[in-house]
Chain A
Amino acid sequence: MIEVDIAKNFGNFSLDLSLHLQKDFTVLFGPSGSGKSVALQTIAGWMQPDSGTIRVNGLVYFDKKTGVNLPINRRHIGYVLQEPSLFPHMTLFENIAYGASGLPSGERKRKVLQIIERMRLKGLENHFPSQISGGQKQRGALARALVASPLLFLLDEPFASLDNPVREKLRLDLLRIIKEDNIPIIFVTHDVDEAFVLAEEMVVLNEGRVEQRGSKEDIFYRPQTHNAAKFFGAKNIFRGKITEIHSEEGKMTVGVERKAFKAVMPYRPGTVVGEWITFCIRPEEIMILKEGKPIKANLQRNVFTGEIVRIVERGAEHTLFFKQGEDDYDFEISLSNLAYRSLHLQEGDRVSVAFKWESIWLIPQKK
């Protein structure tokens, strides 16, 4: 159980965090400058908050009021940074052994060799950090942190500077290790895919504050704020005014700001006509209707006709920009390559698009 309630002012940036984490693998997600690294540094004791408390498993690490500030070397935390942080003047073995120096030398050697085996670093014991690859360095850093038997593991974008296949391999290594050793982890990243693969619980940070917190599905499909939606790729975010409510049918109509169309969506109890709301639809939830095919019942509420003004190939999928009004484009649509190919679309084609009204997600207004 990790409880962080701190504030810190940096001049042109201020951090105001309230994190209460219970799961074993928490991902701290957010754009650059959102305060993710600072959050880790205050937990590890590398930086002092201006006020607040930090508690790990009931142990007080920091309490401004009572003046408690546990020194870094008593916090039993494992910390791996993005930049390789192995000591350049020690061999890999010495680096890892540095984390285990509390033990008698025989046991220390055994433990170190053991973890070298587990992290697939056998044979590199006597190499210096300058002689091994980035992936090996990070595995070394992980090994060194693990060998100290930490109570908590902090990882700050540890795989960010590595190639993709190496990253994926290391992610699997990491998951395997935490399963075996049962150490709670806070993992910082700004990579959506990585967050998705690893997280049990996700915390979204923005400008020093927690934007949203929950399971990865919660955040992905039910972003609670505009920013959360944006960060996770909910591209089609609109603001609109409720024009009609039919509560018996459970539906309401929203006139979209500055756009020519209206959207029909599930009635949200508590809202009234004339109220402004924000909603979003994920690009992959918008369907392009095949000409001639009848439109399914659950799609009929929201059908729009317009033009494909631009197509962008993105490797594993295609992004289509759909326009039906005056703006450059109205919707961003994402199609798998397979789907794209079967539709034979070109820029300039006139099409009809539709989406299920369950795909519409209402972003709660900040009160």
Chain B
Amino acid sequence: MEGSVFFSLRLSLQVAAVATVLIVLIGTSVAYFLARKDFRGKELVDILLTLPLVLPPTVTGYYLIWLAGRNGLVGEYIFHWTGWNILFTWYAAVLASFVVALPLMLKTTRAAIESVDPNLVNISYTLGHGELKTFFKVILPLSKKGMVAGTILSFARAMGEFGATLMVAGNIPGRTDTMPIAIYTSVSSGDWSKANIMVIFFTLVSGAFLYIASRLSKKII
């Protein structure tokens, strides 16, 4: 059951990438509603979704187990109908990363959308365009900066997620040991040479990512 350094690195990138895609899609939609619509319980929704930002990852992990475990609120039914459970799979790692990084995307994107001049949005409607078209042609281009920042932050947070991931995905070498978890295991068991390699790799990859991200974002913006 030996998990290799490259597996952990690849897994971390994979988990973070998938989580970030979900965060961008879901986060942007939710941020749009929070920014532009009014409904009962709006601020409650905002608080609930932002909680993982202020709660320790272990508390978030606790709630995820309570929700998605085999006897969890939602997990129970899924296990009953499909015999499948998300815990101890890499999907759980994606879930943990998604939940803890989503607030970052939400906050930045909501602020960006709210700062779009409402007159411009109304003018788009007045010119005959519907909400969806207005979103893609007016709101999105004018919120790009905030959204790009949110995406970068989310990916970074997803890459570094550890506490909640450990609790829901477990530490299964070759299956769910993302790099932060693998490093933790190596350090816990005194395997400093392995830990050293991984830490250097992870730092280089993260640094490279930040560099690429900042170049890309300058181009987009």
Contact = CB atoms under 8 A, between A and B. Distances in A.
A–B contact at 8 Å CB threshold (below): yes
Interface of A: 44-46, 71-79, 81, 83, 85, 87-89, 98-99, 101-102, 144-145, 148
A99 B128 contact: yes
28 contacts: A44-B122, A44-B126, A46-B122, A46-B126, A71-B125, A72-B122, A72-B125, A73-B128, A73-B129, A75-B126, A76-B128, A77-B126, A79-B126, A81-B123, A83-B119, A85-B117, A85-B119, A87-B138, A89-B141, A89-B142, A98-B127, A99-B128, A101-B128, A102-B128, A144-B127, A145-B127, A148-B127, A148-B128
A77 B126 CA distance: 6
Contact of B125 (A73, A85, A101): A73
A78 B117 CA distance: 18
A204 B124 CA distance: 30
A64 to B, nearest CB: 19
Interface in B137-160: 137-138, 141-142
B41 interface: no
Main secondary structure of the interface of A (DSSP, over half): loop
Contacts of A144: 127
B138 to A, nearest CB: 6
Nearest to A47: B122
A76 B94 CA distance: 47
Contacts of B129: 73, 98, 101
Main secondary structure of the interface of B (DSSP, over half): helix
Interface size for chain B: under 10, 10 to 19, 20 to 34, or 35 or more residues? 10 to 19
B205 interface: no
B197 interface: no
B123 A79 contact: yes
B83 interface: no
Interface string B108-124: 00000000010110111
Contacts of A88: 142
Contacts, number: 51
B130 interface: yes
Contact of B126 (A72, A89, A101, A102): A72
A128 to B, nearest CB: 13
Nearest to B125: A72
Contacts of A75: 126
Contact of B137 (A78, A83, A98): A98
Contacts of A98: 124, 127, 129, 137
Contact of B127 (A45, A46, A71, A99): A99
B130 A73 contact: yes
The 4 closest A-B pairs by CB, nearest first: A72-B125, A99-B127, A73-B125, A89-B141
Contacts of B122: 44, 46, 72, 79
A87 B120 contact: yes
Nearest to A46: B122
A81 B127 contact: no
Contacts of A46: 122, 126
Contacts of A89: 141-142
B119 A73 contact: no
Nearest to B123: A85
A341 B39 CA distance: 68
Nearest to B141: A89
Contacts of B126: 44-46, 72-73, 75, 77-79, 145
Contacts of B120: 85, 87
A74 B137 CA distance: 18
Contacts of B127: 73, 98-99, 144-145, 148
Contacts of A76: 128
A78 B126 CA distance: 7
A317 to B, nearest CB: 38
Contacts of B137: 98
Nearest to B133: A101
B125 to A, nearest CB: 4
Interface in B12-53: none
Contacts of B130: 73
Contacts of B119: 81, 83, 85
A148 B125 CA distance: 12
Given A72-B126, A73-B127, 11 more contacts: A44-B126, A46-B126, A75-B126, A78-B126, A79-B126, A81-B119, A87-B120, A98-B127, A101-B129, A145-B127, A148-B127
A148 B138 CA distance: 17
Nearest to A99: B127
Nearest to A89: B141
A364 to B, nearest CB: 39
A77 B120 CA distance: 15
Contacts of A101: 128-129
- Name the residue among B119, B124, B125 with the largest chain A CB count within 10 angstroms: B125
A76 B129 CA distance: 11
A87 B116 CA distance: 11
A45 to B, nearest CB: 8
